[in-house]
């Protein structure tokens, strides 16, 4: 069954009850000026009032809800949302308010120029520990995959439905590095990639609990193991051509 919308917006939500209503209303106002949109919300076992807020919003906005009583994790929530996609295009954003919906117009204008349009956070509004880890890991990552992007962990992504369905089946090795894996697998499959600089903002509420100095050794080792697992799984795939990515400044 095809979606009545031109593009569906996939949002993973976990304990965002304080901010999710304002975030989604802002997204809907801005994105619906550019295209006919609907939301796919994959709620991931929140312990606050996120579910109640989302049910209330679904009575007003075009939202399909995937609610969970148990924590699934970011990766599984995203894969389930990708599998749910019925529109021709799927836009993935995080629900923490760091992705500026104003940038969507550039993505939509470029939607037919590549299979996947990826954001590039030229100036990241993230804690130092996360930026340091990402830079160091990026250098290792590129020695293995040579992916033609500057920011393979950016959660601002527009893709074709066909890409979403392939990724929904294959992703899952990098529990804390979903978008790193997404870019690597797309590149190894030969899907065309395009990168567009975006504005990156402070979180609208809360503080991420994943990237703390005390957790870095374990995260790093898991990421490194996952890199070589993904490389082994995809090493017989034809690599994407070097010209598959185009970058432009906002």
Q: Is residue 250 part of a domain?
A: no
Q: Which residue has the tokens 């600089």?
A: 197
Q: What is the pTM of this model?
A: 0.86
Q: Is residue 1 part of a domain?
A: no
Number of domains in the chain: 1
Which domain, by its residues, includes 112? 7-244
pLDDT tens, position by position, 61-90: 999 999 999 999 999 999 999 999 999 999
Q: Is residue 18 part of a domain?
A: yes
pLDDT of 242: 42
Q: Is residue 168 part of a domain?
A: yes
Q: Is residue 249 part of a domain?
A: no
Q: Is residue 196 part of a domain?
A: yes
pLDDT tens, position by position, 132-170: 877 888 998 999 999 999 999 899 999 999 999 999 999
Whether residue 198 contacts residue 155, with contact meaning beta carbons closer than 8 Å, is answered with no
Whether residue 174 contacts residue 223, with contact meaning beta carbons closer than 8 Å, is answered with yes
The percent of the chain in helix, strand and coil, each rounded to the nearest 5, is 40, 15, 40
Q: Is residue 2 part of a domain?
A: no
Judge whether residue 220 has pLDDT over 80.
no
Q: Tell me the CATH number at 238.
A: 3.90.550.10
Confidence of residue 193 (pLDDT cuts 50, 70, 90): very high
pLDDT of 207: 46
Q: Is residue 145 part of a domain?
A: yes
Q: Across the chain, how many H-helices and E-strands are there?
A: 8, 7
**Average of pLDDT values for 175-189?**
90
């Amino acid at each position: 069954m095809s979606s009545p919308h031109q593009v569906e917006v996939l949002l993973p939500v976990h304990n965002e009850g304080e901010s999710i209503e304002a975030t989604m209303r802002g997204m809907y106002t801005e994105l619906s000026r550019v295209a006919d949109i609907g939301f796919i919300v994959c709620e991931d076992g929140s312990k606050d009032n996120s579910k109640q807020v989302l049910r209330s919003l679904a009575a007003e906005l075009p939202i399909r809800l995937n609610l969970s009583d148990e924590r699934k994790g970011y990766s599984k929530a995203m894969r389930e949302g990708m599998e749910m996609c019925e529109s021709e295009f799927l836009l993935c954003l995080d629900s923490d308010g760091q992705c500026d919906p104003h940038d969507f117009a550039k993505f939509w204008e470029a939607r037919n120029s590549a299979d996947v349009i990826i954001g590039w956070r030229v100036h990241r509004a993230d804690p130092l520990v996360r930026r340091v880890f990402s830079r160091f890991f990026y250098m290792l990552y590129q020695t293995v995959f040579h992916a033609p992007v500057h920011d393979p962990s950016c959660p601002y992504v527009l893709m074709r439905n066909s890409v979403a369905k392939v990724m929904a089946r294959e992703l899952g090795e990098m529990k804390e590095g979903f978008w790193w894996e997404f870019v690597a697998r797309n590149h190894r499959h030969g899907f065309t990639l395009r990168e567009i600089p975006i504005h990156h903002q402070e979180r609208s509420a809360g503080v991420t609990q994943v990237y703390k100095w005390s957790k870095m050794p374990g995260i790093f080792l898991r990421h490194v193991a996952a890199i070589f697992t993904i490389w082994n799984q995809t090493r017989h795939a034809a690599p994407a051509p070097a010209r598959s990515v185009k970058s432009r400044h906002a």
